[in-house]
Structure 1
Amino acid sequence: MSKEEVLLNEEINFPQVRCVGDEGEVFGIISSMEAQKIANSKGLDLVLISPNAKPPVCKVMDYGKFRYQNEKKLKEAKKKQKQIEIKEIKLSTQIAQNDINYKVKHAREFIEESKHVKFKVVLKGRENNDPRVGLIVLERVGAMMEDIAVPEKEPKTEGRYVSWLFVPKKK
């Protein structure tokens, strides 16, 4: 919930609301004025939790503390996310076998570091008319990578590139 979506204290002006306390106590269905008085007497905020319910549900709580805990949860969730790093290796259709071997050697190092590797074959000039030339190069690369990585999808043509993404094999 962001601050813009949440109605607080005097902003809540429904004739009747279902009011709940911060420690689980239920005040029942009362007017929003009464709910506001209860919140003020406890030194807390009245927060609209569910505006679409019949009647709307409000909670008496410390909104600053609530917002702080939500932000803390979001930061913790973000920390636990795993960032996938994709290394891109460009090839041409006229590449020699020893150059492919050299680039595949680097790709294998990246795969061992649990990074994803995307091979891109650049199509130039008339090669754009027949992208199969790029697919031939990628198939040679794929044969060299199959023992350590698996292709995520089939090779695809993107404008003047033919690309193929490899991910590490699961252990």
Structure 2
Amino acid sequence: MLRTLVCAQQTKPKFGITRGDGTISNQSSKKNNEPRVNRKIRAREVRVIHENGDQLGVLLTEKALQLAEEEGLDLVEVADKAKPPVCKLMDYGKYKYQQKQKAKEAKANATRITVKEVKLRPKTDDHDIDVKIRHIQRFIAAGDKAKVTVQFRGREITHKERGSMLLERILEELGDEVNVESRPKMEGRSMIMLLGPKSKK
């Protein structure tokens, strides 16, 4: 008598794993930490919040999707660990665009530091020096850097000490208002000093 061995082949869901409640966790829909949206939401029921902040309570996911469709919005899973998961009705495309713009603006604000140049001559008079110092103070207060340049012309280059004395005087006047990022040094026929805002602690 021949015995026939029958192997029962278990079928597995195409995506994700099966939870204890029978729902399928679609891990592939969570790429790049993006939330599940609309038909990618796997829970049978969800707690729904309207984009205006109204609490709509716990609804069957199909009912929530129908509501989103009626209002021309998306159903977005914002707290997948909650029981049941929390979803929000919103325009997801608009939301993603706004978040992208905010990130772009934050990055631009973090790196938007300009260098303003203040030019002097070794024989610049006291009044003009005071005016230049006020310019530097204004630049630093705005979060910018100040490049202070003493330009030498003709035989003035033989008296570099005058440039050094001028820059040291400016530093003394500014005191603790600035951070010296580059001490006075010669570049061609100019003496350069770079000042920046004090680091925030």
TM range (shorter): 0.5 to 0.7
Q: Relative to structure 1, is the Cα distance of residues 137 and 79 closer, same or farther in structure 2, using a 3 angstrom cutoff? A: closer
5+ residue gaps, structure 1, are: 1-22, 24-71
**3-state DSSP of counterpart to 1:93:** coil
Larger Rg: 2
The amino acid across from 1:119 in the alignment is V
Q: Which residue of 2 aligns with 1:87?
A: 116
Deviation, 1:81, is 5.1
The separation in 2 between residues aligned to 1:100 and 1:137, in whole angstroms, is: 9
Q: Name the stretch that deviates more: 139-148 or 78-87.
A: 78-87
The separation in 2 between residues aligned to 1:82 and 1:112, in whole angstroms, is: 16
With structure 1 as the length reference, what TM-score do the two structures score? Answer: 0.52
Residue 99, structure 1, aligned to residue 128, structure 2: yes
The separation in 2 between residues aligned to 1:129 and 1:149, in whole angstroms, is: 29
Identity of counterpart residues, as a percentage? Answer: 34
1:137 to 166, 170, 174: 166
The separation in 2 between residues aligned to 1:79 and 1:114, in whole angstroms, is: 14
With structure 2 as the length reference, what TM-score do the two structures score? Answer: 0.45
Deviation, 1:94, is 0.5
**Could you give the per-residue CA deviations for residues 104-143 of structure 1, whole angstroms, max 9, x where no partner exists?**
0111011110110111001011121332221111111111
Aligned ranges 1:12-161 → 2 under 5 Å: 76=104, 79=108, 82-161=111-190
The separation in 2 between residues aligned to 1:156 and 1:137, in whole angstroms, is: 13
Paired positions, count: 102
Deviation, 1:88, is 0.3
**Could you give the per-residue CA deviations for residues 55-87 of structure 1, whole angstroms, max 9, x where no partner exists?**
xxxxxxxxxxxxxxxxx8xx9596475122011
5+ residue gaps, structure 2, are: 1-27, 29-99
Residue 165, structure 1, aligned to residue 165, structure 2: no
Runs of 4+ in structure 1 over 2 Å off: 75-81
Q: Relative to structure 1, is the Cα distance of residues 128 and 107 closer, same or farther in structure 2, using a 3 angstrom cutoff? A: same
The separation in 1 between residues aligned to 2:177 and 2:131, in whole angstroms, is: 16
Greater RCO, 1 or 2 (C-alpha within 8 Å, sep 6+): 1
The amino acid across from 1:143 in the alignment is E
Q: Name the stretch that deviates more: 154-163 or 122-131.
A: 122-131
Q: Which residue of 2 aligns with 1:49?
A: none
Q: Which residue of 2 aligns with 1:44?
A: none
The amino acid across from 2:147 in the alignment is K
The separation in 1 between residues aligned to 2:109 and 2:133, in whole angstroms, is: 31
